[in-house]
Structure 1
Amino acid sequence: MYGFSIFMNSDLDEAKRSYITKMVNSSFKGIFTSMHIPEDDIKLYKKRLIDLGNFAQTHHLKLMVDISGDALSRSGFSFDNLAELKAIGVTGLRMDYHISNEIISKASHTITISLNASTITQQDIDELKENNANFNHLEAWHNYYPRPETGLSHQDFIEKNNFLKQHGFKVMAFVPGDADLRHPLYLGLPTLEAHRFLHPLAALIDMERMAVDHIYVGDGGLQETTALQLTQYINDQTVLLRARSETADFRHVQGEHENRQDAARDVIRSAYARFKTIPDIQPENTVVRKKGAITIDNCDYGRYMGEIQVVKTELVADSKVNRVGNIVSEDIDLLDYIGPGQKYIIEKEKQDD
């Protein structure tokens, strides 16, 4: 499942409502919010959570609320009356530090509980079993890390997830957004440090490769084009690449493609190119091909004429290969995540018209 974050540092204004509606229309199914951000005023949380919960219910969204210590009671709710939370649209609680496994076990019979994936130990699992926790309602959610250099490594993340999967947990993790970054650092909210400044879609695809069950956008927003790219991928499993043209032959590369199943090391080869009707391609702009270059083989390549490629690593100039355009710099990250058989679209950047 795919989700996104809404933070209660301000009221649920029209901008937030519009963003939620946009994400719903983009096939996102869940909202994550937090009740223990220290720089926020917790006295305002109850009304804001009620408003958010009601709006989530209206749009049939799951709502996971991050809590710790006495944050729940301080904001006017109680573990003894979880039905009240469910009534306003809360579908799950993420239990962080200072909440006992006994309380977690009891709550798991009423509502979905997500545990801190990074800190679950075998002892915790044993205690949950001793307290008759409902493991059908337990999930493992990783943290996001606002401070640079503190996110998890791929290796530790994979090892922890393997442990969690062995015990039947569904695993959730965050990828960064690229708009409305969270105060006070504004440096992204990823689970993995390697994702901090990565294109959000590239991070999402990387998470999928590691068999993560739920992927949420950590930050509070996505740029318009990024949201479209995520929508295209979620709905059609297709990567949308924006590009700038260099020659008139760019028209031959626009549109839908699929990376060949025998994926090349250095380039993304369009499996559809051989089925396109392309006129004789004369040598033109046969220059160095940097990462992101879009090329067509010209007539000097014989039967390969018309081969369409996107370059993944810098290649020297070749008199038989025309560079017709370039993927925009913002989308370069995505090239490393177009694997065998992956569908992709090359779309001319609008400002290039």
Structure 2
Amino acid sequence: MGRLGISLYPEHSTFEKDKAYLDLAHKYGYTRVFTSLLQINGDQEAVVANFKKIVQYAKSLDFKVMVDMNPSLFKQLGVTYDDLSFFDDLGAWGLRLDEGFTGMEEARMTRNPYGIKIEVNMSNGTRYLENILSFAPDKQNLLGCHNFYPQEYTGLGEEFFTKCSELFRQHNINTAAFVSSKVAGFGPWPIQDGLPTIEDDRHLPIATQVQHLLLTGLIDDVLIGNAYASEEELRAASETFFGRYPVLHADFVDDLTTNEKLVALGKPHLYRGDASDYLLRDTMPRVWYKDKEIPAHHAKADFKRGDIIVVNDDYSRYKGELQIALKAFPNDGRRNVVGHLTDDDLFLLDYIKPWSTFELK
């Protein structure tokens, strides 16, 4: 199973604040930390000592700490690609390479004696991965992670994200990507536009962002890019990430009946396999609730994509069936509109496939 993670930026915070954030994330099942050591200004020993303190505390809570690095920092620290003992002493689980090397260095680093993971950039769309693989790395220690994008409108498009991710999937390499908190105040740079991987996720609720990445089937680990996410966001992301089934959020009518609530929210839904262009259908509720009355109401307006529908008593054989409109069609009165997918989650309908199970909330 994949890991859920947070990000820390010790140079912009304090040990006490980072410690409290780690404690809170640990409570909700988070097990990864992304942190940055891209530049050391001032007293190098003091900076490294402070950095090590928070890394060691995270490690004590069983977090896997990934440290972002670039070639110039290797030189500044006096670290060579054949000796990663500095990072072992630091307590790092792995190194994320902010900039690419030649491929040979990445492969050599995966064969370190400490088992330190080497995580490479997935957001390039080149033959970078194939180049690394040509130097025979230890694939158990090779991971991939997408970039995050602080500047609005610069995040990855869906097609490019998919293309890059599939390269890593083909080689069974662990993948990661970032989602963004709406309340977090900072990242590695003083920009407040969020830190997602996919641009269209930038302003969505965090649970929807997490669900999106999971439904692509291309991402193992999900990381919150900016700090600090609220406890509500940490909980929502955790519930989504560790949930048994994908969740679609919907707004329901105020006068939803008890029986309609049973149909829509009582159990997870199975998307019937013989798919229609017009309707996603779950036919099991009409079996479970066949003796329940479902009078016609909210059955006049024509259907639009994202409408949550319960078939009413006037369509006797199909009474109680749960449906979601996939595109517009007329309403003849035999189906009740009981709600609508939220605007934020509507696009997730494209990812729910026939024979898959999901929940409505």
Mark yes or no: TM-score above 0.5.
Answer: yes
- 1:215 is matched with 222
Whether contact under 8 Å (2:38, 2:69) holds in the other structure is: yes
Q: State how far apart, in whole Å, the 1-side matches of 2:234 and 2:137 are.
A: 40
What secondary structure does 1:322 align onto?
Answer: strand
Structure 1 gaps of 5+ residues are: 348-353
- 1:196 is matched with 202
- 1:273 is matched with 285
- Count of residue pairs brought into register by the alignment: 343
Q: What per-residue deviation string (whole Å, max 9, x for no partner) do you get for residues 215-274 of structure 1?
A: 323233266267336424424134263544321414333332213232444444334312
- 2:122 is matched with 117
Q: State how far apart, in whole Å, the 1-side matches of 2:125 and 2:304 are.
A: 45
Whether contact under 8 Å (2:124, 2:164) holds in the other structure is: no
- 2:8 is matched with 7
1:11-22 superposed matches below 5 A: 11-14=14-17, 16-22=18-24
Q: What per-residue deviation string (whole Å, max 9, x for no partner) do you get for residues 129-168 of structure 1?
A: 55x7544322232211122232233333333344445566
Deviation, structure 1 residue 94: 0.9
Alignment CA distance shift 1:260-1:99 (3 Å): closer
Which deviates more from structure 2 when the two are superposed, residues 42-51 or residues 301-310?
A: 42-51
Q: State how far apart, in whole Å, the 1-side matches of 2:271 and 2:130 are.
A: 44
| Partner of residue 299 from structure 2, selected from 286, 291, 301 | 286
Structure 2 gaps of 5+ residues are: none
- 1:303 is matched with 317
Q: What per-residue deviation string (whole Å, max 9, x for no partner) do you get for residues 296-318 of structure 1?
A: 22222221222222344455444
Q: State how far apart, in whole Å, the 1-side matches of 2:29 and 2:181 are.
A: 16
Whether contact under 8 Å (2:69, 2:95) holds in the other structure is: yes
Letter in 2 for 1:3: L
Alignment CA distance shift 1:236-1:24 (3 Å): farther
The answer to whether the aligner puts 1:60 opposite 2:65 as a matched pair is no
| Partner of residue 173 from structure 1, selected from 169, 172, 177 | 177
- 2:265 is matched with 254
The answer to whether the aligner puts 1:143 opposite 2:144 as a matched pair is no
Letter in 2 for 1:86: D
What secondary structure does 1:319 align onto?
Answer: coil
Letter in 2 for 1:58: S
Alignment CA distance shift 1:266-1:321 (3 Å): same
Letter in 1 for 2:179: V
| Partner of residue 322 from structure 1, selected from 336, 344, 353 | 336
1:34-49 superposed matches below 5 A: 34-36=36-38, 45-49=47-51
Q: State how far apart, in whole Å, the 2-side matches of 1:229 and 1:98 are.
A: 31
Deviation, structure 1 residue 291: 4.4
TM-score, normalised with respect to structure 1: 0.78
Deviation, structure 1 residue 319: 1.6
Whether contact under 8 Å (1:257, 1:345) holds in the other structure is: yes
Q: State how far apart, in whole Å, the 2-side matches of 1:129 and 1:51 are.
A: 37
Q: State how far apart, in whole Å, the 2-side matches of 1:163 and 1:345 are.
A: 30
Whether contact under 8 Å (1:158, 1:210) holds in the other structure is: no
Letter in 2 for 1:158: T
Whether contact under 8 Å (1:164, 1:171) holds in the other structure is: yes
| Partner of residue 163 from structure 2, selected from 159, 173, 188 | 159
Q: What per-residue deviation string (whole Å, max 9, x for no partner) do you get for residues 201-225 of structure 1?
A: 4444444434334332323326626
Q: State how far apart, in whole Å, the 2-side matches of 1:115 and 1:295 are.
A: 45
What secondary structure does 2:195 align onto?
Answer: coil
TM-score, normalised with respect to structure 2: 0.77
Alignment CA distance shift 1:341-1:181 (3 Å): farther
Alignment CA distance shift 1:284-1:101 (3 Å): closer
Whether contact under 8 Å (1:54, 1:89) holds in the other structure is: yes
Identity of aligned residues (%): 22
Q: State how far apart, in whole Å, the 2-side matches of 1:165 and 1:42 are.
A: 42
Taking only aligned residues, the RMSD between alpha carbons, in angstroms, comes to 3.6
What secondary structure does 2:13 align onto?
Answer: coil
What secondary structure does 1:150 align onto?
Answer: coil
1:217-232 superposed matches below 5 A: 217-220=224-227, 221=229, 224=232, 227-228=235-236, 230-232=238-240
Which deviates more from structure 2 when the two are superposed, residues 204-213 or residues 274-283?
A: 204-213
- 2:351 is matched with 337
